[in-house]
Every structure is written in structure tokens, then in C-alpha cells.
């Protein structure tokens, strides 16, 4: 293999891994959490790229590659059901050309002549949640979700509120039907309106609402959501129902099941659409697409299936999808509207997200009045301005997006959008780190948008460890004004009577909470630093800081000098394990006077213990050391950790304050500098002897 081919292969391997990880991550969000983060189109693009890579480098394909599996494993809360026949997924075609290629492949596979027709049944592809339902002797006995295609969740009780419990017209002894459960736009809007009124989070789209409603441990909730279903296929069937896909659909209708044919019948008076050749399929595709905005449910394309079951058997499947069927997707739905303003939302972690306020417009049957602009760069890249006429896209899922601005309609004197560098909620500086797309508010302890998250972190087990104050209690206390910032937690004992009269609280639980608050007043410096929730300061960094500065007083006085830069910042940056990025995040935090004020106020409420003095008597305690070059007996991090546990400060650069430079093999500029400054230089062996 040439060097070039090797390098391409290694690049492909890396890309494959990245894609596979991303797809699995999005599968989990979509199938288990009902909360996708990317649009179907973006997801499909990831899958396609993965398939492309595997075609080019077949050795990359593993058995558990996302191309070989469907969806994500089921949740733990429902019993598992193994499908007697796996539930497959569909490959997608995005254009007429790809549908043509699909038909060509079928023709080649079956050895048909060029002019021989391939009769195809056309169905709608409704965007919902697939299920399998088993009937025995005409009675509904079991229902399952698709899960990973092999094993799904047992949702018998839920499906029983949607499907007929008995079938008509002498169905076969065993009949497993497969279909899709979905929610109409009308029901979706009503459900979300109820949720708003009840202060519950709304569903992002009808599909998520259907999924969330179907997978309810309490089936009565499912019943109240008025879901619909249709049947598009089957699994185990004990007696043949005919030789064609369309025969089965007809039979299901006779048994009293809702089939996909109903929709085409209502829309175009077509009973079962069997087409050949392509022109007929494309004609229906365009007619359905034109009607799409008027439909009361989401569809994301058509599904074409080879009608002959004999041919279906011969064609079989490849990977997770049949060769005999394909989904012809619609492009995402778009509409024009005007950007009336750009609002900045501040998330729980302080991220500033721009959201375009739009003149309300209907896109695919759903009224859209907001669209995410993702981040600062995205606005710049698309040059979206207030007053612009823009193309809004709804990809049947997630939050609507802005595709582009129509420059011809741009009002005169419009100006590029200027992204704020202060938090719109609390007014603190909002900073953007290098290599980060997101700008974040630095007013952590004061910013209302982040407060609940900060409070939750503050009281957490690894931080101040206040038992009895969970997210629920914190949110409730905050909403009712009992706590407005972290310091208020220590004023709760004066308000104990107010808490006791609240629902869910009693004398005992209030006493317990007060005791937990009292206990938390004795806190180690490291825990206290960690509890502040400074960006990039996790438990390990907090410990490092505590060890370095030893006492709250020493630490805080150094921190207050940080915003001025200079010595304090250099010292911080020189502590082993603290990089510039972390040092700057800490400096940003202390640059906000409100944060400083709150830290002081907190300290007034607490007894902050000095960090354990590490190995006072060790020969390197209190010394600053720098490791350089390749160490042979220790890894760099081991060496650092050992030195720190003996009380040394490990710095990353050599200065006149450095006590020892430990030079490994191939030491370079740091060694040179140490020589220039007359710093003591030790070999690795000498160092080991010194600390032995």
C-alpha cells in the first residue's frame, strides 16, 4: 500500500469513528429521549457519509456499525420484547435520480429487461413512531416499539388504547401487523397549550409528542393523548393473505385496521397506488408534496415498495433496510417571512443563544414565530439582519432554522447584527473562549438565567453537600423568592417557619434541612472553590488551587488581583495542572464585581478550612519545579502528581522563581533558560533520589 493510500485509510478510519459516535449519540437522543438535537436531514447526511465510507473501505464496517443496526436499545423501564421477525428501516432517496437508480438496481438484481415494469406500491411516509402489534385468533395480545429492530419495549397496554382489540373478517390465527403511531397537528397544538397552562415543558414537534405519549408507564395518559395509527406492513403471519403488498393492505382493511390507503383515497381518490414506471410515481410525489401543507399530520416523504412479494423475497435486505423498498423524502418545508428582532436567550450554563423573532408564518402546517440562529458566527456567516426577509425551514422536527436572507428585499440602511458582549439578563461581561462558538455570561453567581443551575451545583454532594435541597426544592424556593442567590441558602434558617408551611414539608424535614445547612458551614477550601461553579474549575482543579494557596484568605486575595493580570495571573497559570484557558476563566469570574461580592458574603457565612498541608517536611515542599524533556521512569502526569503530593508547585515555564528544573531526555529551551538563570538542574534520577 502506498504511503498516500495508507494515510487516506487512516483518515477514513478516524472519520468513520467520529461519524459512528455521532450517529449513536443522535440515535439515543431521538429514540430514547425523544429530544433530537439535529434535523432529520442532518442526521441522514451523517448516515449517508458513513455508508459512503464503508462502501469505499469495507473493512471499516463492524457488526455493530450504525449501518447494520437500527435505532437505539430500549429503555429499562419497559419489559423487553424480541421481535419474531426483525423490524427493518428504510433507505432514503433524495431525488428523482436516486429513485431511478433504485429501480435500476432492482432490475439488475432480478435480471429484468430494460422495458420490463417493476410495479410499485406508493404509500405516505408519516412521521411518527413505529410499532408492532400481535393478534392471536383475532385478539390483540402484544404490542411493542421497534427499539433496536431486534428487541423493542412492551407497550401492549398503551397500544391497547389506540388499536382495535379484536379483528373482523376471519384474520389468520397469528397476525403481526406493523405500523406507525402519530399525532395530528390539532391534537399536538392542544396538548402543548395544556402543557403551557400547567407549566410543563412543551414538545418540540408532533413526532416527539407521539413518542412521549406512547411510552408512558401509565397507559391512561396515552389514552388521553388521542394518538392515531396506520398499518404499513407485517411480521409473522400464519397464513398467506395474497401474493402482493397491496393484497395484504386490502386484507388489513377488511380486518378493520386503519391502513395507509385511506389517506391516498381521501386526498386523491386512489385506492391502492400501484405504479410503473417512474413517471407515475413522480407525478404522485409532486401532487402529495403540493398538498403537504394542508395535511393535519407530518409526512416526510413517500415510500415505494415493490408490489410482488415473490420479488420482495428475492430482493431481500441489505444491512438494516430492504432492497425492495425506499423512502423518497421531501425537501424540508420552507417559507418566507421577516425577522422582527433578534433576541438573546441565556441558557442554564450561561450560553448566549441568538433567536430570531419572526413575523408568524405557517410552515408545513405549524405556526413558526421563532427560529434559532445557533450562535454569533452563524449570524455573521449568513449575514442575517433585523428587518431581513428570510427563508425559514422546518425539517419536520427540531427547532425551525433560518436558511438565508433575501438580499433583494433587504431594507436600505440595514446594519449587520452586532452580537452583544454583555449578558442581557444580568449585564455581566459575556466572553467567548478561543475555539468556542459560544459566548457565555460570566455573572455565574448572580445571573438569574443560570441561578437555578448554579444553586443546584452549589448544594450538590461533591460541593457543599446540602442534603434535602434538590433541584425541585431549589427551583420552588427560587420561584417563590425564598432564595435569590447562593448566600440566601444560609439565611434559610431564619425562614424555617415559611418552609414548614409549604406543601410537601413538615417539621421533621425542615429540621433535617436546617441541620444539613448547618453542617455545610464547615467546608474544605477545595469544596468551596468547586461549589462556586467557575467555568473549567472542576473538582481536580479546585483541589489543585486549594493546595497551592492553602487558605481561603491567600486564595481570595490572589483571586481579587487576577483581573489586573500581572503577577497573580502568571502565578495561577504556572500552577501545574492549570492552563491558560482555566486561568482566564477564573480571571473572568473575578472580573465581575458581583461575583467577588457574593464570594465574600458566602465566606462570611462559612468556616472554610485550610487545605491539608501536604508533606510539610518533604525536601521539595514549597519549592517550584519545572519538568522538561522526556522522562523515562515516570510519565509527565505521574511526576507532576508526585511532586505536588510532596508539596511542590509544578510550573510549566522557567522563571527566576523556579527552584529546580528536572531535565529529561532531549530537553530544549527550558533547560537552556534554566542554565541562563542559574536555576538548579537535576536529572530524572537525581530528582527521584531527592524525593525518595
Binding region for ligand IVH (CB under 6 A): 88-90, 123, 125-126, 130, 180, 232-233, 260, 303, 322, 325, 327
CA separation for the pair 70, 152 (Å, rounded): 11
Cell for 595? 461575583
CA 401 to the chain's CA centroid: 17
- Name which of 322 and 533 has its Cβ closer to ligand IVH: 322
Return d(Cα 579, Cα 558) in angstroms, integer: 17
Measured from the CB atom, is 325 or 371 closer to ligand IVH? 325
| Residue 333 beta carbon to ligand IVH: minimum distance, rounded to whole angstroms | 17
Q: How far apart are CA 153 and CA 159, in angstroms?
A: 12
Query: With contact defined as beta carbons under 8 Å apart, do 687 and 660 qualify?
Result: yes
Side by side, the strands of the sheet bearing 174-182 are 139-145, 129-136, 174-182, 228-237
Q: Of the two residues 303 and 620, which places its CB atom closer to ligand IVH in the complex? A: 303
Q: Between 85 and 367, whose beta carbon lies closer to ligand IVH?
A: 85
Which residue, 325 or 523, has its beta carbon nearer to ligand IVH? Answer: 325
For 22, the grid coordinates are 455521532
C-alpha cell at 13: 478510519
Q: What is the SS3 assignment for 628?
A: strand
Cα-to-chain-centroid distance, residue 102: 33
- Residue with cell string 502528581: 641
418 DSSP 8-state letter: -
Rounded to whole angstroms, the Cα distance separating 586 from 432 reads 14
Residue of 9, 125, 484, 507 with catalytic role:
125
* Residue showing the smallest CB distance to ligand IVH in the complex: 130
Q: Which residue lies nearer to ligand IVH by CB, 23 or 327?
A: 327
Shortest distance, position 306 Cβ to ligand IVH, whole Å: 11
* Interior/surface letters 502-533, b for 16+ CB within 10 angstroms, e for the rest: eeebeeeebeebeebbeebeebbbbbbbbbbb
Question: Helix, strand, or coil here: 690?
Answer: helix
Please state the φ and ψ torsions of residue 422, each to the nearest 5 degrees. Answer: -125, 150
Return the ∠ at Cα 197 (arms to 162 and 366), rounded to 5°: 65
Rounded distance between C-alpha atoms, residue 372 and residue 392, angstroms: 10
Please check whether residue 591 is in contact with residue 442, taking contact to mean a CB–CB distance below 8 angstroms: yes
Cβ atoms of 400 and 392 within 8 Å: the answer is yes
Q: How far is the CB of 70 from ligand IVH (least distance, A)?
A: 8
Q: Nearest distance from residue 232's CB to ligand IVH, in Å?
A: 4
CA angle (553, 555, 556) in 5-degree steps: 70
Comparing CB distances to ligand IVH, the nearer of 249 and 451 is: 249
For ligand IVH, the closer CB: 245 or 428: 245
Whether residue 409 lies in the annotated active site: no
Contact 475, 451 (CB under 8 A): no
CB closer to ligand IVH, 91 vs 544: 91
Of 371, 354, 339, 370, residue with least CA distance to 438: 354
Read off the C-alpha cell for 44. 441522514
Minimum CB–partner distance for residue 76 and ligand IVH (Å):
22
CB of 328 to ligand IVH, least distance (A): 11
Strand pairing category for 389-394 and 401-405: antiparallel
Angle, alpha carbons 20-23-25 (nearest 5°): 110
Residues with a known catalytic role: 125
Amino acid at each position: 500500500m502506498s504511503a498516500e493510500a495508507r494515510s487516506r485509510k487512516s483518515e477514513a478510519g478516524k472519520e468513520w469513528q467520529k461519524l459512528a459516535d455521532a450517529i449513536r449519540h443522535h440515535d439515543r437522543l431521538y429514540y430514547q429521549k425523544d429530544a433530537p438535537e439535529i434535523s432529520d436531514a442532518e442526521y441522514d447526511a451523517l448516515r449517508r457519509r458513513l455508508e459512503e465510507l464503508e462502501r469505499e473501505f469495507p473493512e471499516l464496517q463492524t457488526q455493530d456499525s450504525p449501518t447494520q443496526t437500527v435505532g437505539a436499545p430500549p429503555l429499562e423501564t419497559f419489559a423487553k420484547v424480541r421481535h419474531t421477525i426483525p423490524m427493518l428501516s428504510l433507505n432514503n432517496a433524495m431525488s428523482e435520480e436516486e429513485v431511478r437508480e433504485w429501480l435500476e438496481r432492482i432490475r439488475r438484481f432480478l435480471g429484468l429487461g430494460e422495458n420490463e415494469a417493476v410495479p410499485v406500491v406508493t404509500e405516505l411516509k408519516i412521521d411518527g413512531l413505529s410499532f408492532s402489534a400481535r393478534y392471536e385468533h383475532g385478539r390483540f395480545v402484544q404490542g411493542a416499539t421497534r427499539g433496536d429492530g431486534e428487541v423493542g419495549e412492551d407497550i401492549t397496554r398503551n397500544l391497547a388504547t389506540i388499536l382495535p382489540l379484536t379483528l373482523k373478517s376471519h384474520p389468520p390465527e397469528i397476525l403481526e401487523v406493523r405500523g406507525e403511531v402519530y399525532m395530528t397537528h390539532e391534537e399536538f397544538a392542544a396538548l402543548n397549550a395544556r402543557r403551557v397552562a400547567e407549566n410543563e415543558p412543551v414538545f418540540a414537534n408532533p413526532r416527539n409528542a407521539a413518542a412521549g405519549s406512547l411510552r408512558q408507564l401509565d397507559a391512561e395518559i396515552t389514552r388521553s393523548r388521542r394518538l392515531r395509527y396506520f398499518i404499513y406492513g407485517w411480521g409473522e403471519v400464519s397464513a398467506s393473505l395474497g401474493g402482493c403488498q397491496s393484497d395484504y393492505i386490502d386484507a388489513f382493511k377488511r380486518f378493520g385496521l386503519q391502513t395507509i390507503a385511506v389517506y391516498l383515497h381521501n386526498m386523491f381518490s386512489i385506492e391502492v397506488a400501484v405504479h410503473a414506471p417512474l413517471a407515475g410515481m413522480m407525478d404522485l410525489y409532486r401532487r402529495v408534496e403540493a398538498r403537504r401543507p394542508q395535511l393535519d399530520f407530518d409526512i416526510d416523504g413517500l415510500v415505494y415498495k415493490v408490489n410482488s412479494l415473490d420479488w420482495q423475497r428475492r430482493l431481500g435486505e441489505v444491512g438494516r433496510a430492504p432492497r425492495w423498498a425506499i423512502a423518497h423524502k421531501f425537501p424540508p418545508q420552507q417559507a418566507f417571512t421577516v425577522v422582527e428582532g433578534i433576541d438573546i436567550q441565556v441558557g442554564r450554563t450561561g450560553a448566549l443563544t441568538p433567536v430570531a423573532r419572526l413575523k408568524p408564518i405557517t410552515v408545513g402546517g405549524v405556526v413558526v414565530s421563532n427560529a434559532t440562529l445557533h450562535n454569533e458566527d452563524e449570524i455573521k456567516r449568513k449575514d442575517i439582519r433585523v428587518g431581513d426577509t428570510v427563508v425559514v425551514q422546518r425539517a419536520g422536527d427540531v427547532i425551525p432554522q433560518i436558511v438565508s436572507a433575501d438580499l433583494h428585499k433587504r431594507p436600505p440602511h440595514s446594519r449587520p447584527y452586532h452580537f452583544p458582549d454583555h449578558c442581557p439578563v444580568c449585564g455581566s461581561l459575556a466572553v467567548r473562549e478561543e475555539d468556542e462558538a459560544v459566548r457565555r455570561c460570566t455573572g455565574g453567581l448572580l445571573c438569574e438565567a443560570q441561578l437555578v443551575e448554579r444553586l443546584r451545583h452549589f448544594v450538590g454532594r461533591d460541593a457543599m453537600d446540602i442534603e434535602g435541597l434538590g433541584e425541585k426544592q431549589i427551583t420552588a424556593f427560587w420561584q417563590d423568592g425564598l432564595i435569590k442567590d447562593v448566600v440566601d441558602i444560609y439565611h434559610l434558617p431564619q425562614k424555617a417557619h415559611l418552609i414548614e408551611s409549604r406543601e410537601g414539608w413538615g417539621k421533621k424535614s425542615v429540621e433535617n434541612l436546617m441541620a444539613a445547612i448547618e453542617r455545610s458551614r464547615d467546608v474544605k477550601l477545595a469544596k468551596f472553590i468547586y461549589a462556586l461553579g467557575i467555568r473549567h474549575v472542576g473538582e481536580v482543579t479546585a483541589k489543585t488551587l486549594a493546595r497551592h494557596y492553602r487558605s481561603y484568605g491567600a486564595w481570595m486575595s490572589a483571586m481579587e488581583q487576577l483581573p489586573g493580570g500581572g503577577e497573580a495571573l502568571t502565578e495561577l497559570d504556572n500552577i501545574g495542572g492549570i492552563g491558560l484557558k482555566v486561568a482566564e476563566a477564573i480571571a473572568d469570574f473575578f472580573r465581575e464585581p458581583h461575583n467577588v461580592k457574593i464570594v465574600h458574603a458566602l465566606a462570611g457565612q462559612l468556616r472554610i478550612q485550610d487545605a491539608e498541608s501536604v508533606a510539610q517536611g518533604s525536601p521539595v515542599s514549597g519549592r517550584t519545579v519545572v519538568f522538561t524533556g522526556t522522562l523515562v521512569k515516570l510519565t509527565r502526569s505521574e511526576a507532576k502528581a508526585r511532586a505536588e503530593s510532596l508539596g511542590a508547585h509544578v510550573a510549566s515555564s522557567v522563571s527566576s522563581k523556579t527552584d529546580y528544573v528536572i531535565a529529561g531526555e532531549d530537553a530544549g529551551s527550558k533547560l537552556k533558560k534554566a542554565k541562563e538563570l542559574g536555576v538548579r538542574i537535576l536529572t530524572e534520577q537525581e530528582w527521584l533520589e531527592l524525593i525518595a
